[in-house]
Structure 1
């Protein structure tokens, strides 16, 4: 029996899935805000005084990426683990140019794709647990072993990936909240329960940053994603210009490579 396979689809079996039109807009916004963040952090001279953009516009990118990965993993893909592997491949391609960015520390940090891939893997495992327990496919010893492995991976990987332990929790908590919000319907107790399930991801989003401005943008982005799961996604029209798939896949490693080349040309990189 597979550990996790079609967890996202199984969880939504027999339930009308929400519209994913918003993710078309989300792709453009995520790439724009991520690029602004990285340009302000790595390329633009500090004397230009654009740190405010990194702490505001730049704080939209990660919770938005995490929301889209959680959404697709929960509602759209038949194999979330294969989706996680695709994200990991992008991360592997991007790691070398990512490591060329100027940093204040020599510690190895794995880029955001590792955070997203591991987060989706953990979220898929959590989504599959109720079905596996109900079908008797998970004994107590195996449950303890898997939970220990999941906890150990989170503790260890959180030391190496971008956004750390808090970042790794975003997608699993998003998935739990989005599923409950989508399934809650009009029943008041169910809506209250779903709202309670949304609180942990909002708390974690607030803990990822130190400044009040950064916290407000991160939490605000997370709240919008949860409102979409609660029904607002029905009101979002299709994106006018669909992002080309190749651009979406290549932008993350490509923009790091372009920045590394620019920094080398201007003499910032040794």
Structure 2
């Protein structure tokens, strides 16, 4: 049996672009459109592609980065900067932007690595970070942390579609919570990943990718 069947290939860079476009569509619908309309619901469905793909990319990035501490610090720094437009859009509602969720996801993966020989400790460590995300009110809260952790734990070899499908099956219940159609679209995108980094390389592009999140929130603030 051929265990290397694959969907049309998408690089990590392609996944980033898809996730970013999905995120922009989602936020434009949420902040700029009348809720409950057909267009609003359609755009929110497309928008639900974003976070599972970002969670997948965090797990992949953590596996390949040489400096995991720097990875965390960069995400955390942009999380704090993004709080300004997040507060302007959402007010003091007790929530915090998704960059905090991604940064906490890196913390969870770091603890998983350090406790890898002790399954109970690993489980408790991830649960602790998930609880922290919940009480902090980060976007996607505990489910976001679990998505990142499960993507990391169940990583298959690049190009192995069957193992990637098993990975998606573990994640699917969490993704469906935010919408079935979006979960299906996100699953197809992730299944199409070919394991290659793609054309987005270098520090300048990396920081531009991180900076896009607060910048697009600022632009939405100007339109609200």
| Fold agreement, TM-score > 0.5 | yes
The separation in 1 between residues aligned to 2:40 and 2:58, in whole angstroms, is 28
RMSD, matched Cα: 3.4
| CA distance in 2: counterparts of 1:168 and 1:62, whole angstroms | 11
User: Structure 2 unaligned runs (5+)?
Assistant: 1-8
How far is 1:83 from its partner? 0.7
Secondary structure, aligned partner of 1:56: helix
Instruction: Give the aligned partner of residue 176 of structure 1.
Output: 153
In the alignment, structure 1 residue 247 sits paired with structure 2 residue 208? yes
Quote the Cα distance in structure 2 between the aligned partners of 1:111 and 1:255: 13
Q: 2:219 aligned with 1:261, yes or no?
A: no
Distance 2:29 2:77 in 1: 26
* Cα contact 1:70–1:171 (8 A) shared by 2: yes
SS of the residue corresponding to residue 154 of structure 2 reads helix
Give the Cα–Cα distance (whole angstroms) in 1 for the partners of residues 36 and 190 of structure 2: 35
Q: CA deviation at 1:154?
A: 2.0
Q: Which residue is 1:217 aligned to?
A: 182
Specify the structure having the higher radius of gyration (Cα). 1
Q: Which residue of 2 aligns with 1:158?
A: 134
1:46-125 mapped onto 2 (5 Å cutoff): 46=35, 49-74=38-63, 76-102=64-90, 106-125=92-111
- Once the two structures are superposed, the pairs formed by residues 233-244 of structure 1 within 5 Å of their partners are 233=195, 238-239=198-199, 244=205
Q: Which has the higher contact order (CA 8 A, sep 6+)?
A: 2
How many residues align? The count is 214
Counterpart CA distance in 2 for 1:240 and 1:150 is 30
| DSSP-derived class of the 2:129 partner | helix
* Closer/same/farther in 2, CA of residues 249 and 200 from structure 1, 3 Å limit: same
Report the CA distance between 1:240 and its aligned residue.
Answer: 9.4
Q: Deviations over 1:100-132 (max 9, x none)?
A: 1147xx5311110011111122123213433xx
Determine if the alignment matches structure 1 residue 202 to structure 2 residue 172. Answer: yes
CA distance in 2, matches of 1:254, 1:184: 34
In structure 2, the partner of 1:42 is: 31
